[in-house]
């Protein structure tokens, strides 16, 4: 059996270098590799970091899978899944099997990419002082973001029971080179995983520059701050969430796009972090805009598997342009957010930071940065929606649903607010993905989630 497939971790560095550098195509994967030889120079570390970004952009990760899986699992007939892929239909219906391929690949690709970051972090002594901090910050951002996504998907919500006891996912913080008994690791607790996520992202914020010389699609200080805001909000640490969001907003690095349609263009000024897709990458499994694949109809080169229902569209006011941001074909309705097949994939954007700050300030009866009403109305004004004269928590949560629909935040919002998906409670077993059966079969220290 292939070792990579068996354990879900990328074995050694040779596989990364094969995918990241054509000149090394003759390097053969192996069960054991001397990492000190594989990463012998700063160029090798840079190539490996490029491989980590390539992994992050995989269709099962931020290339789209993380976003659409969270939306489908948290959906209550805002959309209908009309496609033929049984694994996605299972997720939408909340009947996920332990052999579900999408859940398996989220785990596998997540850990493969984390291992690439671990290789970078273990070889920082090969990097000159000019780039060392940036390389470390980028690797920590990727690792922290992925552990956050994995623990949300495969563990109980932070507000469900006791995080210090609930099983999360295994923390692997050093490169996996030789696979043996030591690689059969138990699940760390939810609290332990969150602590590692915060450690990685906090250090990333300290180390990363405000902008990257090599352009968009690379982690920056703002990206780390925005991800910290998400993590703290999920933990219900509202002061820390507000302050992280406020640092993004007041940095001046990002501005709201002038129109809602302009948000979803490749030159949008409010994208804090995104996966950059090119024409060349679009034909490859690691570079396809998977949100286009499932949300856009054939007219825009997608499959049109996810169709928007009246239940969702009726939430918008008459003047709200977001309520018309759809395409109707043969009485089937599709969001216009992802119509560009080679469009960059949004991960986190400035509008979300305004809404995080608004919610946190409202909960804390504070006005740090701006009053909650002002922040919510800033988002509504861009959409042409009627301004509110007063704002409640329900107003802010609804605004998140209207503004961020289909971008991967629905399930997380339902869980952290102890809501429901229809009649399904936020802490129901079937709103947590099963540990993939292939992992259970090969790692006897893993414990399956309840209900599976």
pLDDT in tens, 158-177: 999 999 999 999 999 999 87
Lowest-pLDDT choice from 55-69, 176-190, 385-399, 430-444: 176-190
Sequence-separated (6 or more) residues with CB below 8 Å from residue 319: 384, 385, 386
Task: Answer yes or no: is 265 within a domain.
Answer: yes
Task: Please determine, for residue 33, whether its predicted confidence score (pLDDT) is greater than 90.
Answer: no
- Give the chain's domain count: 1
* Mean pLDDT on 272-288: 65
Residue 450 lies in a domain: no
Tell me what the mean pLDDT of segment 250-268 comes to: 97
What is the Cα–Cα distance from 303 to 298, expressed in whole angstroms? 6
pLDDT at 259: 98
- Residue 9 domain-assigned? yes
Confidence band, pLDDT 50/70/90 cuts, at residue 12: very low
User: Is residue 435 a part of any domain in this protein?
Assistant: no
The three-class DSSP label of residue 315 is coil
Q: Indicate if the pLDDT at residue 4 is higher than 80.
A: no
Q: What is the mean pLDDT of residues 116-129?
A: 97
Q: At what angle do helices 129-154 and 42-56 cross, to 10 degrees?
A: 30
- Interval 434-451 mean pLDDT: 96
Q: Is the pLDDT of residue 26 over 90?
A: no
**The pLDDT of residue 279:** 56
**Confidence check: pLDDT of 34 > 60:** no
Reference 138, options 120, 111, 113, 112; nearest CA is 120
The answer to whether residue 437 is domain-embedded is no
Average pLDDT of the segment spanning 210-217:
84
Range of the domain at 372: 3-423
What pLDDT score was predicted for residue 20? 39
Sign of the dihedral through C-alpha 106, 266, 261, 356: positive
> Is position 440 within any domain?
no
Q: What local confidence, expressed as pLDDT, does residue 181 receive?
A: 59
* pLDDT averaged over every residue in the chain: 90
pLDDT band at 399, cuts 50/70/90? very high
Is a pLDDT exceeding 70 seen at residue 288? no
Residue 415, pLDDT > 50, answer yes
Q: Is residue 452 part of a domain?
A: no
Looking at the DSSP assignment, which residues form a beta bridge with residue 425? 420
* Domain contains 449: no
Between 180 and 255, the higher pLDDT residue: 255
């Amino acid at each position: 059996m292939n070792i990579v497939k068996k354990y879900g971790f990328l074995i050694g560095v040779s596989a990364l270098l094969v995918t990241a550098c054509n000149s090394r195509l003759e390097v053969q994967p192996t069960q054991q590799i001397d990492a000190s030889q594989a990463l012998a120079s700063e160029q090798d570390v840079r190539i490996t970091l490029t491989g980590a970004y390539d992994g992050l952009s995989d269709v099962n990760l931020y290339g789209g899978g993380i976003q659409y899986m969270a939306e489908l699992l948290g959906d209550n007939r805002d959309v209908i899944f009309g496609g033929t892929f049984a694994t996605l239909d299972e997720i939408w219906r909340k009947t996920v099997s332990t052999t579900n391929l999408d859940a398996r690949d989220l785990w596998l690709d997540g850990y493969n990419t984390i291992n690439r970051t671990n290789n970078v972090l273990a070889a920082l002594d090969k990097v000159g002082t000019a780039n060392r901090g940036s390389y470390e910050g980028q690797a920590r951002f990727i690792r922290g973001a992925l552990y956050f996504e994995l623990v949300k998907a495969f563990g109980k919500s932070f507000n469900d029971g006791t995080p210090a006891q609930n099983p999360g996912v295994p923390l692997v913080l050093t490169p996996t080179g030789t696979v043996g008994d030591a690689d059969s690791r138990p699940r760390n607790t939810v609290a332990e995983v969150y602590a590692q996520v915060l450690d990685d992202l906090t250090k990333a914020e300290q180390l990363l520059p405000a902008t990257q010389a090599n352009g968009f699609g690379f982690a920056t200080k703002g990206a780390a701050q925005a991800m910290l805001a998400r993590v703290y909000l999920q933990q219900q640490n509202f002061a820390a969430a507000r302050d992280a969001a406020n640092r993004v907003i007041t940095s001046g690095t990002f501005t709201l796009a002038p129109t809602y349609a302009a948000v979803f263009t490749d030159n949008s000024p409010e994208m804090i972090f995104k996966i950059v897709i090119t024409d060349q990458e679009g034909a490859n499994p690691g570079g396809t805009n998977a949100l286009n694949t499932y949300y856009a109809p054939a007219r825009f080169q997608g499959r049109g598997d996810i169709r928007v229902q009246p239940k969702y569209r009726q939430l918008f006011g008459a003047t709200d342009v977001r309520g018309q941001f759809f395409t109707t074909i043969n009485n089937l309705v599709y969001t216009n957010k992802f119509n560009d097949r080679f469009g960059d994939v949004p991960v986190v954007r400035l509008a979300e930071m305004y809404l995080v700050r608004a919610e946190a300030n409202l909960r804390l009866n504070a006005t740090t940065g701006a009053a909650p009403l002002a922040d919510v109305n800033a988002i509504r004004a861009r959409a042409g929606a009627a301004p509110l004269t007063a704002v409640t928590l329900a107003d802010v949560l609804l605004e998140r649903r209207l503004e961020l629909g289909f971008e991967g935040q629905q399930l997380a919002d339902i869980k952290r607010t102890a809501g429901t998906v229809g009649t399904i409670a936020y802490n129901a077993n079937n709103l947590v993905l099963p540990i993939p059966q292939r992992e259970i079969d090969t790692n006897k220290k893993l414990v399956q989630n309840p209900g599976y």
